[in-house]
Structure 1
Amino acid sequence: MNLPQISVLFGKLVPFFATVIIYFILLIPPAENPTLLAVIIKCSPIMSLMYFVKHYGSCTNPIFVGLFFCCIGDGFLMFKGYFFHGMLAFMLGHLNYIRAFGFKPLKPRIGLFSFLIGGINISLLYKGLSGLFVPGVSMYILIIDTMIWRAFARLQNPWTWTQISICTGSVLFALSDFFIGISMFVRPIAHSQVLIMSSYYAAQLGISLGVLEIVPK
């Protein structure tokens, strides 16, 4: 990638960085009835990444579709009492990321390691789960572990920066969700909103940059 291409790349990401800065300046928490502006502020970074992916791919690109469902999930999570709805939307987002990463090469050892870590996470959260959250959270962790597995399975020598970006994004997404799970089902975490959203936005950026490799313009 030459200098003009890099300049265009970062130019397309300016809206993302600008909206992330606005979000962290305001740090609007979930509410019973959040304003439309509050929902837009939280969703704007993801909508900016959708614009970026659309430029380098298309609206049918699974990364774009994954971002779309995650954006819906972000909206649900702004409303107290709609966490389960948001989780379902994020599941659909991860399934599209898995579709983007594909299943070739398979590399099952990476999958086994990822699922082992996921099993540990489920055991940490299990005592705090009840009702639909017992199967729901377990299924969610299984899906995100599959997404991590498929991201790392794409690594081939020599590693490209887009492959590393996808892997980093997948791990940061799991880390963000780990912070959410601990703060919701185990015990509160200091500065949880900052930890959750900083790792989340960085994760989505890393995955979105994968469009440069998965669907070349």
Structure 2
Amino acid sequence: MWSKIIVFLIAIMGITYIFFIPDDPVSTKIMFKLIPMLLILVFAFLQSAGESNKYKILIMTGLFICMLADGLIYWFIIGLITFLIGHILYIVAFCPIKTSTIPKWAAILLIAYGIAMAIWIAGTIWIKGETILAFAVILYMVVILLMGWNAFQTANKFAITGAILFIFSDSILAINRFIVEIPFSDTLIMIPYYGAQFLFAYSIHAHYSSTLKNLLK
């Protein structure tokens, strides 16, 4: 019952932030940006974890760090570092529950995508003479792709879909900031971003359910 109410509130507050909150004042923009993430944290807390409590704690910590990053991204480098920590926490959460190897098609796509984006985005930054930022972007790309790689190995469809959405969201953010201004970029960034975080939260229940089924076999 409570979970359904929280899901409804996440959707309402996410739509409110994306489509109705103006860019100024920035403090109001940040406040409304954080509300859906706070609700996703509550939703994660309500998920059954059973013996998978460590996974739940790591996912919730990752959600909290990403929520902080949402506000800190207005100071780009600080926000980038904070998001990096969030991705690392998700990797740590996914690693112990690997149940299969990553499909070859997914591995090829992730590697090809990472190389292409590194050449395009980091290369553009490098040409502008911002060497340190170029290396920081490459490091970020490596970490987020590792997050996706480990998500595939969990065989948890919610974690996998969440990882794909997160990669897409961050890619739009990077292209919009460093390459070319994308129309409706905030919408294209935030819808998959909130979706990714919600799916990570729901993956707690999915992981618990799959673990329970295995124990009952």
TM-score greater than 0.5 by the shorter chain? yes
TM-score by length of 2: 0.81
Higher helix share: 2
Q: Does 1:95 align with 2:91?
A: no
Question: Match for residue 147 of structure 1?
Answer: 147
Tell me if structure 2 keeps the 8 A contact 1:111–1:146. Answer: no
Q: Which moved more, 1:124-133 or 1:66-75?
A: 124-133
Answer yes or no: is the 8 Å Cα contact 2:147–2:163 preserved in 1: yes
Give me the whole-angstrom Cα distance separating, in 2, the residues matched to 1:213 and 1:164.
Answer: 9
Which of 161, 177, 181 is equivalent to 2:174?
A: 181
Q: Please tell me whether residue 196 in structure 1 is matched to residue 189 in structure 2.
A: yes
| Amino acid across the alignment from 2:192 | S
Residue of structure 2 in register with 1:14 after alignment: 8
Q: Is the 8 A contact 1:151 1:167 kept in 2?
A: yes
Q: TM-score, normalised by structure 1?
A: 0.81
1:102: Cα distance to partner? 1.4
CA contact (8 A) 1:115 1:142 kept: no
1:128 to 118, 121, 124: 124
1:46 alignment partner in structure 2 = 37
> Which amino acid in structure 2 is aligned with residue 10 of structure 1?
K
Q: What is the Cα deviation at residue 125 of structure 1?
A: 0.4
Identity value in percent: 24
Q: What's the CA shift for 1:15?
A: 2.3
Distance 1:69 1:107 in 2: 28
- Change in 2 beyond 3 A, CA 1:204/1:28: farther
Instruction: Please provide the CA RMSD for this pair.
Output: 2.4
What is the correspondence of 1:99-118 to structure 2 with a 5 Å cutoff?
99-103=92-96, 104-105=98-99, 107=101, 111=107, 113-118=109-114
Answer yes or no: is the 8 Å Cα contact 2:65–2:86 preserved in 1.
yes
Deviates more, 1:48-57 or 1:124-133: 124-133
Deviations 1:5-34 (A, max 9, x none): xx55423322211210211232443x7x72
